[in-house]
Amino acid sequence: MAFQLVLPDSKSVSQAPSPLAYAVDRTFFYAAAAGALAIILLVIYILWEIGGQALPAIGRSGASVLVNTQWDVQNSSFGILPQIWGTLYSSLMALLIGGFIGVSIAIFLTQDFLPHSLATVFRTLIEMLAAIPSVVFGLWGIFVVIPFVRPAADWLHDAAGFIPFFSTSLSGPGMLPAVIVLSIMILPTVAAISQDAIGLVPYKIKEAAYGLGATRWEAILKVILPTASGGISSALVLGFGRALGETMALAMLIGNANQISLSLFSPATTLAALLASNFPEAGAIERQALMYAALVLLAITLVVNVAGTLILLWTSRKMAKA
């Protein structure tokens, strides 16, 4: 890059960048490219490490792990069906509750139910919820949620124990407190992304609905939510993804019992909770099985997150065209 322009007049101070500037420029470029590559390599390395460590376990038991219900270290029988069940069940329930509340709050904050300044305060409160660490929610769940729901749970079990959801009594940690805390934890995610999605609905569409004589709720339910449905679905999918990977609060609240039950009051377990409670003390063989469990968790969340990201990309492209 020794190119120099030779000029007849020399009043100008213009000159080519110094060799040093060129060297810096090139180094800078490679450093930046290395940074971008680092992200790609990191993901590959993560898959390779976890996959590699899980390989012996995969070779030993193959897909049978996915249907085996025993986690028995003595007999080297490692099944994770209860964990998969618990992960999906708790996350789905949390999605039902947290998703409903989250979308409701998004409507509440965007459709002029509150004066602007109050809406800002409320939004900040919900955002603060997202900042509370998982372990703190766990602690709160143990000392506030469990004592609080226990009387109601006992009453439901006595009065309606024939319904599978209430078929056991709540003796402390269990699915219900876990689901409640999990719902609270995904609520801010759902609320934030849904607010963005609703914010993207052009004002003229809302105007058109009012112009046709729709009431506020008719406009919300029949025009605004359907228009924002793509963004709201991705909010729900990403909230679900968050719930699937949540570890500590669940490990503290779900009871870590290796069983499959529909009952909201019985203790259960999840993949992340299994990792959290067994990994530190595991021997070599068990650790390989845990790596396999980690791989399954990775696969589930990957599918869900990629789906959520794609929906978000796809709908924002569609909205940009509209």
Partner 1 sequence: MAFEASPATPAMAIPSGSDGKPPSLGYNSFEPRALWNLILTLGLWAVAALGATPLLSVLYMLIVKGGARLNGELFTELPPAGFEMGGGIGNAIQGTLVTVAIASLISIPIALFAAIYLAELRPLSRISSVARFLAKVLTGFPSILAGVFVYAAVVLLMGSYSALAGGVALAVLMLPTITLTAEGAMHMVPQRMKDAAIGMGCTNTQVVWSVTLPTALPSIVTGIILAVARVAGESAPLLFTALFSNYWLRNITEPTASLSILIYNFSSMPFDNQIELAWAASLVLVMIVLGFNILSRFIGRPQV
Partner 2 sequence: MTNASVLEKPTATAGAAIDCNIDKIYYGKFLAVRDSNIAIEKGKITGFIGPSGCGKSTVLRSLNRMNDLIKGFKLEGNVHFHGQEIYDKGVDPVVVRRHIGMVFQQPNPFSMSIFDNVAFGLKLNRFKGDVEERVQHALTRAALWDEVKDKLKASGLSLSGGQQQRLCIARAVATQPSVLLMDEPCSALDPIATRRVEELMLELKNDYTIALVTHNMQQARRVADITAFFSVDISQGGRTGHLVEVGPTDQIFDAPQEKLTKQYIGGEFS
Interface residue with partner 2 among 16, 32, 37, 118 (CB under 8 A) is 16
CB of 50 to partner 1, least distance (A): 6
Between 15 and 117, CB nearer to partner 2: 15
Question: Of the listed pieces 19-27, 58-66, 157-165, 223-231, which binds partner 1 according to CB under 8 A?
Answer: 19-27
Question: Of the listed pieces 6-14, 136-144, 206-214, 255-263, which binds partner 2 according to CB under 8 A?
Answer: 6-14
Q: What is the DSSP track for 170-207?
A: --SS-HHHHHHHHHHHHHHHHHHHHHHHHHTS-HHHHH
Between 11 and 204, CB nearer to partner 2: 11
Q: Binding of partner 1 at residue 88 (CB under 8 A)?
A: no
Q: Which two tokens stand for residue 59?
A: 């070779």
Between 75 and 280, CB nearer to partner 1: 280
Between 12 and 117, CB nearer to partner 2: 12
Please give the Cα distance from 3 to 191 (Å, whole number): 56
Q: Binding of partner 2 at residue 281 (CB under 8 A)?
A: no
Interface residue with partner 1 among 25, 72, 112, 158 (CB under 8 A) is 25
Fill in the amino acid letter for 38: A
Query: Which entry of partner 2, partner 1, none binds 42, CB below 5 to 8 A by partner kind?
Result: partner 1
Phi, psi dihedral angles at 181 (to 5 degrees) = -65, -40
Partner residues linked to 132 by β-bridges: none
Phi, psi dihedral angles at 71 (to 5 degrees) = -120, 90
CB of 228 to partner 1, least distance (A): 16
Cβ(274)–Cβ(292) below 8 Å: no
- Nearest of 247, 293, 274 to residue 53 by alpha carbon: 293
- Nearest of 246, 250, 260, 241 to residue 85 by alpha carbon: 260
Query: Which entry of partner 1, partner 2, none binds 7, CB below 5 to 8 A by partner kind?
Result: partner 2
What is the binding site for partner 2 (CB under 8 A)? 1, 3-9, 11-18
